[in-house]
Structure formats: C-alpha cells, structure tokens
Amino acid sequence: MSDAVDLVLAQWGRERPDVDVWPMGIVGRISRLSRLLDIRLKEFFAEHDLERWEFDVMATLRRSGPPYELTAGALNRAAMITSGAITNRIDRMAKRGLVERVPDETDRRSVRVRLTERGWETVEKLVGPHTENEALLLAALGPRERDRLAGTLRDLLESLGDTSLD
C-alpha cells in the first residue's frame, strides 16, 4: 500500500535522484496526520457544541488536580500558543461560564484560571468518549505498534527540546 507521501517521495526520486529526501517521509506524514486528526477531533467536539481548544484548556485544568486552576501563562505554554491568543480564549470561555478568572494572592501580575462547576462537568462527561474516539482513529495500530510509536515520538520530541508544562 502507499499513501500521498509515497507519491511525493517517488516524484522526487524521479526528478532529483541525487537528493535523498527520506526525511520528508516522516516530516510530511507527521504534518498530514496532524491535520487529519485535527479535522476528526473537530467533528467530534462539534457534536458536543464545543471547540477542540475549549476542551484542551478545560482538560489541562482538570488533570492538574484540585483546585483545578492554573495561571494564564501555564495555559498558553501547554497549548503552544501566544499570550494574545490565550487571553482571547479565556475571555470567550469565561463568557460561556466554563472557566473563571481568579486573582492570584501571592503574585498580583498573575491571573489564575479556574474550572467552573459547569466546566468540570463538561470535561468529566467527555474524557471517556473523547478517548474512545481517539482510540478509534488509531485502530489501525496493534498494541505493540502503539507502544513503539509512542516511544519513538517521545524521543523525537525530547530531541527537539519540547518544553514541558507546569
């Protein structure tokens, strides 16, 4: 079997046999996979009247444990977006009553973002179905392959200096 990326590699092989373009076989596939998965996840959350990023923000808060709050900075590092974008997202989620801004007592520059009751329930209801949906999207992989793939991807992430969250 072959996919869109195999075609790319074959074309380069024909047009520029002097260049070994093997890296495209990996970078290209990661890029395309990411986009395809985005689309599928978007569809899933749309069924629940939610944006994917809204779930991501809430899930980040939920899994951080009680009291289910983090600074705005921690959230934008986790989401890998800029500060302007996280301000915008928090604004909209606050309007929907999914999170609330809480002043930080120790550092008054900081804003703590806390999951509301409603936000908590939303995550609680969806973690299971969301995970099952992702499992379905990855159904092509056997248990062995899953572990090996996860391990390889982790090595890559580390080598690229993926910065962890708080």
Q: Is the dihedral of CA 105, 111, 117, 123 positive or negative?
A: negative
Nearer residue to a copy of itself within complex by CB, 31 or 88: 31
Task: Say how far apart CA 84 and CA 20 lie, in whole Å.
Answer: 40
Under rule CB under 7 A, residue 109 binds DNA = yes
Least CB distance to a copy of itself at residue 108 (A): 27
Q: What are phi and psi of 80, to 5 degrees?
A: 55, 45
Least CB distance to DNA at residue 19 (A): 26
Which of the stretches 1-9, 105-113, 124-132, 149-157 binds DNA when contact is defined by CB under 7 A? Answer: 105-113
Residue 164: DSSP 8-state? P
Under rule CB under 7 A, residue 41 binds DNA = no
* Residue 10: HSE in the Cβ half-sphere, 13 Å Cα cutoff: 6
Instruction: Tell me the Ramachandran region of residue 15: left when phi exceeds 0, alpha when psi lies from -120 to 50, beta otherwise.
Output: alpha
If contact means CB under 5 to 8 A according to the sort of partner, which of a copy of itself, DNA, none does residue 72 touch? DNA
Which of the stretches 14-22, 23-31, 67-75, 118-126 binds DNA when contact is defined by CB under 7 A? Answer: 67-75
Interface residues with DNA (CB under 7 A) are: 53, 71-74, 76, 81-90, 101, 106-111
